[in-house]
Structure 1
Amino acid sequence: MSAPAWADTSAVVVDLGFGDAGKGVTVDLLCARRRYGAVVRANGGAQAAHNVVAPDGRHHTFSQFGAGTLAPDGPVPTHLSRLMVVDPLALAAEGAHLASLSVPDPFGLVTVDERALIATPWHQEANRIRERARGGGRHGSCGMGVGEAMAYALARPGDAPTAGDCRTPAVLRRKLHRLADHLDALRRELGDGSRTSPDVEDCVAAYGGFARRVRIVDESYLPGLLARAPVVFEGAQGVLLDEWHGFHPHTTWSTTTTANPLALLAEAGRPGDARRIGVVRAYTTRHGAGPFPTEDPSLAGLLPEPHNGTHPWQGAFRVGHLDLAAHRYALAATGGVDSLVVTHADSAAAAGGRLRRCTGYTDRAGRPLVPVPGDAPAPSHPLHPAPGPLDARADAHLRRQAALADALAAARPVLADGPTPPEEIADALGTPLEAVFSGPTRDDARITAPA
């Protein structure tokens, strides 16, 4: 495979939809084309699910390990940055599966910023209690406790456990006991009768094992890494689920645009030293609740999804026609990208001519509806309602996004006949085409390196 023109520049991979567009296979392809110093996670947590199928048939769903771990010239290391919510227990399970795929010493590949929050079983249970309390108005959470960890850290920053705390049992023990008290109070507040609760000492021991197996580093590590070699920033979720630009409340507690990687580069004295790669499917999907103007359930049987399905907390995996209007919104929200990767280009044949494309929306009265991103008040700093108060500006912005969600839920898509070839998708989005996937592996990619 030929190297891209900007081979000495870091790459930022961002999903221009609701997630599941193919960030994992894109990172896998990038790491096959050149050797990067690391794959860096800069948002989200263990709720990510990036499926990679290697040409030899090995399959792994990447959650916290970077999707360059199965690169053909050997695993690319993973760095979990300070903007990641780390789940040590889920990382242990993921590492065990990678070891079963003949990845040598998976945990030796991982560095973790000591400032990164950790998601614990108490966060997970609190997350699920809140979702149960919403009844039919569930937000579509993955139930992994990532948002709860963020919310708890905002409300009680001194009590929020971090990766660095895993090296100090006394500090971690105190914080976990306070988390247990918080969970009990939440149960009483919401009238939840569940009593599932982990043992603090068991978790202290498990997290101590995590601290011994991975390398926990300080704030100097990432700048030093970037000075030695370019990296791939592997985004989680999609721009349309962004904490500020997504359609509230069906969003993630995470900045899913390119803002976090660009902030980390700027902190390291390398502002803008990256090419931004947007990823879209040749049709549109959404996993879980929320507005989806181009949804067409009849496509689901024609476009099988081997690695996605109905999730007990997130909900159904939904399928619809290519939504160019939504992707334009995402591009505006993230400030544009430098190139485009289109996945599932073989879907048109599989759908038997049923796929169409959405060029815009109309409202209930038949008038054009053009969603425009608002002025987000605080990138990289989630302030979703509950728990904790919102400042006036943040509250007004989220109300705006909720109104936009209502409008999109009632919107009618303007559909044009026929599937859209990848080159036409790139033209419609005004972005050079870098690669097209017509199958699940890196060998199924056609490369078109942008100038």
Structure 2
Amino acid sequence: MNEHLVVVDLGYGDAGKGTVVDWACATLPVHAVVRFNGGAQAGHNVVLDDGRHHTFAQFGAGTFRGVRTHLSRFVVVDPLALSAEAEHLARLGVPDPFGLLTVDRDCLLATPYHVEAGRRRELARGAARHGSCGMGVGETIAYRLEHGELAPRAGDAPRELTRKLTVLREALGVEGPPVADCVAVYRAFAERVRLVDSSYTNGLVRQGPVVFEGAQGVLLDERWGFDPYTTWSTTTFANALELLDGAGAARLGVLRTYTTRHGPGPLVTEDPALELPEPHNTTGPWQGAFRLGHFDAVAHRYAAEAAGGVDGLALTHLDADVSRMCVRYDRPVTFAEPDRTARLLRASPIYEDGVSDWPAAVSHVVGAPVWLESYGPRARDKKASRPSLR
């Protein structure tokens, strides 16, 4: 492997980015994983041969392999959730999780105040809930857009952080813990991790192969997704390419052999009769139900185009007993139209049955070769077809 790899989900998330990144770090000379969007709401599942399992949120999915993680300036950092994740990794045998972590000092901080405000906003929507993860990530970004430099950041000095948190708590009109308690926790966090400036990523890229691990999916993108059922994050390759600053990288899109969605919003191919094992994704108190549908070639082709194209694909869940693909809808859906969400909610799928060669079928409809086939959750369940990925 002589180039960097950017891993992006071409669906609504949950396609298997974590298992793909873990495989890359287990088999390729990767020296760092860079997270480039989202925050603590990510859930990238990794299962080792010995049965150990962790859902990676802020740490990179290569952590079990000893590969360090860098949280770039595009990540919303939640120190409380990060500490809990580090504790779980330590219990699973990772000697010093924080020793494998660097954080850009310009990262926005998600606080208990953001969490409370975001959950309150979601509850107020009633039956029209958007499917928030309840982690305050969207509220953190919204606050920064409205208040600019008043938004708390990972590198803020204690006095500045105290001022910002006081203003934040009042502006959001929430209760939450005392500001002094939050400042004490964040000071301990800043002393435990290594904070760096934004030039650090350039150094990582020059040192050797880096995997850029995306969160969520392109169909949830703040610009290209289906409003209001979107994330407050750029889920395409754009942030990673900006961080690469012209360095070469392969763009890898991840898909399942069937389409899923966590929570409300369009899922044209949803089929309640589709029963497939799902050990790690369940109904959540904030996101809602984990929904299953047949492979939606129309939506995934759109995702690849919205992301600016892909160089290759990682196709997961090839061990699933599925054989149906949606090849078109029963009505025109122009994704460029502002009412595309309403159009999708009214659309019905037109299927092609009897799909058996999934790599060939998906490659054909998306317009990119399948570089990695995955027949299970572990690294040994993967088969690479591109020479530089072997």
TM-score, length basis structure 2:
0.97
Whole-angstrom distance in 2 between the partners of 1:219 and 1:119 = 19
- Which residue pairs with 2:255 in the alignment? 280
Equivalence map 1:266-415=2 (5 Å): 266=245, 271=246, 273-299=248-274, 302-348=275-321, 355-363=323-331, 369-372=332-335, 374=336, 400-401=337-338, 403-415=339-351
Q: Is 1:220 paired with 2:209?
A: no
Equivalence map 1:34-433=2 (5 Å): 34-71=28-65, 75-165=66-156, 168-184=157-173, 196-266=175-245, 271=246, 273-299=248-274, 302-348=275-321, 355-363=323-331, 369-372=332-335, 374=336, 400-401=337-338, 403-420=339-356, 421-433=358-370
Give the count of matched residue pairs: 387
Whole-angstrom distance in 2 between the partners of 1:90 and 1:346 = 33
Task: Work out whether residues 355 and 361 of structure 2, in 8 Å CA contact, stay in contact via their aligned partners in 1.
Answer: no
What secondary structure does 2:360 align onto?
Answer: helix
What secondary structure does 1:318 align onto?
Answer: strand
* Greater displacement, 199-208 / 82-91: 199-208
Whole-angstrom distance in 1 between the partners of 2:325 and 2:46 = 27
Task: Work out whether residues 8 and 230 of structure 1, in 8 Å CA contact, stay in contact via their aligned partners in 2.
Answer: yes
What secondary structure does 1:424 align onto?
Answer: helix
Task: Work out whether residues 360 and 370 of structure 1, in 8 Å CA contact, stay in contact via their aligned partners in 2.
Answer: no
Amino acid in the other structure paired with 1:346: D
Q: 1:12 aligns with which of 6, 12, 15?
A: 6
Whole-angstrom distance in 2 between the partners of 1:123 and 1:35 = 38
**Which runs of at least 4 in structure 1 moved beyond 6 Å after TM superposition?**
none
CA separation of 1:79 and 1:341: change in aligned 2, threshold 3 A: same
Task: Work out whether residues 43 and 254 of structure 1, in 8 Å CA contact, stay in contact via their aligned partners in 2.
Answer: yes
Whole-angstrom distance in 1 between the partners of 2:320 and 2:198 = 44
Q: Is 1:443 paired with 2:390?
A: no
Q: Deviations for 1:136-179, whole angstroms, at most 9, x for unmatched residues?
A: 111111011101111101111121000101xx211111111111
The Cα of 1:272 is off from its aligned counterpart by: 5.1
Task: Work out whether residues 161 and 175 of structure 1, in 8 Å CA contact, stay in contact via their aligned partners in 2.
Answer: yes
Whole-angstrom distance in 1 between the partners of 2:265 and 2:361 = 28
Task: Work out whether residues 333 and 344 of structure 2, in 8 Å CA contact, stay in contact via their aligned partners in 1.
Answer: no
The Cα of 1:35 is off from its aligned counterpart by: 2.2
Task: Work out whether residues 166 and 179 of structure 2, in 8 Å CA contact, stay in contact via their aligned partners in 1.
Answer: yes
Amino acid in the other structure paired with 1:164: G
What secondary structure does 1:435 align onto?
Answer: strand
What secondary structure does 1:98 align onto?
Answer: helix
Whole-angstrom distance in 2 between the partners of 1:272 and 1:409 = 40
Task: Give 5+ residue unaligned stretches, structure 1.
Answer: 1-6, 188-195, 364-368, 375-399
Whole-angstrom distance in 2 between the partners of 1:450 and 1:35 = 14
- Give percent identity, aligned residues only: 58
Task: Work out whether residues 329 and 371 of structure 1, in 8 Å CA contact, stay in contact via their aligned partners in 2.
Answer: no
Q: Deviations for 1:169-192, whole angstroms, at most 9, x for unmatched residues?
A: 1111111111110121xx6xxxxx
What secondary structure does 2:315 align onto?
Answer: strand
What secondary structure does 2:67 align onto?
Answer: coil
Whole-angstrom distance in 1 between the partners of 2:350 and 2:170 = 51
Amino acid in the other structure paired with 1:307: H
What secondary structure does 1:56 align onto?
Answer: coil
Task: Give 5+ residue unaligned stretches, structure 2.
Answer: none
The Cα of 1:427 is off from its aligned counterpart by: 2.4
The Cα of 1:227 is off from its aligned counterpart by: 1.4
Cα RMSD, aligned residues only? 1.3
Amino acid in the other structure paired with 1:181: E
